[in-house]
Amino acid sequence: MGDENTGKIVTRFAPSPTGFIHVGNVRTALYAWLLARKHNGKFILRIEDTDKKREVEGSIQHIMDSLKWVNLAWDEGPDIGGENPPYLQSERLATYKKYADILVEKGLAYADPYTPEEIDAFRKKAEEEKKPFLYRTHRPENPSVWDGTKPLRLKVTPKKYQWHDVTRGELEAGEEAVDDFILIKSDGYPTYNFAHIIDDLLMGVSHVMRGQEFIASTPNYLALYEALEIDKPELVTMPPILGDTGGKKMGKRDGAKDILDYKKEGYLPQAMLNYLAFLGFNPGGEQEVFTAEELIKVFDLSKIQRSGARWSDEKLNWFNKEHMKLLPASEIEKNILEWLPENMRDVKLVPVIFERISKWSDVKDMAERGELDLFFKTPTYQKEKLIFKNSTAEDTKKNLELAINALSEINEDNFTQDTIKDSLMSLADKLEKRGAMLHPVRFALSGLDKSPDPFTIASVIGKNETLSRLQYAQKAIS
């Protein structure tokens, strides 16, 4: 089954507020958002905050800030409300209690009488007997009335389950995959396994984007759908995002960064979306650089891949640079100047820097590494390095004098990269090797083995400084 659905497409992103969200979380939200937008459907932000022990203060705002950065606007959520409020699970406890009571009345849920220690003993015995631990083999015959002080468990019927996954196709699991799982904990909060199914039902969710780790739990979910006599939504399993070595799923424990760290590093949100879309999805064709609007048009569930996608900083940087190239020149200039130290904010540097960066923070890094010092400080160097290979000091001195005379003729108002290049190249082309002219000029201006070309350097530092550096080099080699 592909994108088509007879009813309205409703998707959701339902993170837990247990810290920052990383690229894998945002890609799940992106695919859900793309599907909803493509079909003029609805994208819901729901916060699954039922595990109060793991909740981190400020996480909910952080989640919203992260989605806002990449421009994934939600249609319903904790900050804007919607048709099915509230959007924090901790504020929906009465709803879960209502559905729990329905299951109890149907004889399909019961109070768990055992202590955690007793359950651990059951589990240990199963391990000793080399059997899988199944709680239902210890199901009490006459459980007490559930009063909310004990966990409530679903009473499943062990059987084989088969189901359809949009990306994985037909899947199945034997009866050993089904067990009496907890619906409501003894603290009154629902488990994820219960709450998300109730919320998806009441919010009309049509498609659930999820990680592959939820495949193993699907038989239990199917048992709950049956017990409640409701239809399941379409299940869309995402391929994992692997670390840069390609061998292991990338997660918080494996160095996955907070998505907002990429913002701090100067990545563009549109580039991040473009890259994340391609981590597990391929629309076909040669085009790689897409706007959000273009991604919406080409997004198709049938083109989500099954196999894992390897994260690559190098590829992200490529996408980012391609999107930077699409920015207006004024925005490029504004950002580069903002990332430079105040004493280096020279508009002439903008094209030089832009050619060498893939994200805005590279500007700051270039400055801190001293790569821009040559534009602000007279270089120091060993005079021998001015001499081009197989050339002589006398020839080098003569070529520097030719360069000085030629550049002196250029009007200061017209001392541009093009005029400088034309002037120097007309001289260099007359020599046996161009390097005999261009190398000493470049080295005299930069003092570095590797640097921008001499035309660029001269145009940035200006006529007076250029001539001063060339004259110093000419004297140094005498």
The beta strands (E) that lie in 214-337 are given as 234-237, 241-242, 309-310
pLDDT of residue 51: 87
Neighbours of 8 (CB within 10 A): 12
If we measure between CA atoms, which residue out of 297, 252, 364 comes closest to residue 20?
252
State the pLDDT at residue 3. Answer: 44
Cα separation values, 245 from 230, 273, 280, 290, 309, Å: 42, 22, 16, 26, 11
pLDDT at 6: 47
**For residue 382, which amino acid is it?**
Q
19: helix, coil or strand? coil
Q: What are the per-10-residue average pLDDT scores of the chain (478 residues)?
A: 61 95 96 98 96 91 98 98 96 97 97 95 94 94 93 97 97 96 95 97 97 96 98 96 79 77 98 97 95 97 94 96 98 98 96 97 96 95 94 95 97 96 97 95 96 96 97 92
User: Edge-to-edge strand order for the sheet containing 234-237?
Assistant: 169-173, 161-165, 234-237, 207-210
Question: For residue 250, what pLDDT is reported?
Answer: 73
Residue 358, amino acid: S
First to last CA, the chain: 80
pLDDT of residue 256: 77
Predicted local confidence at residue 248, as pLDDT: 75
CB atoms within 10 A of CB 3: 16
H/E element, 246: none
| 361 token code pair | 């923070």
B/e letters for 452-476, b = 16+ CB within 10 Å, e = fewer, are bbbbbbbbbbebebbbebbeebbee
| pLDDT in the model for residue 7 | 73
Element (H, E) at 327: none
pTM of the predicted protein model? 0.91
Determine the distance from the C-alpha atom of residue 245 to the mean position of all C-alpha atoms in its chain, rounded to a whole number. Answer: 17
How, if at all, do strands 182-184 and 241-242 pair?
Answer: unpaired
Which helix (H) or strand (E) is 318 found in, with range? helix 313-325
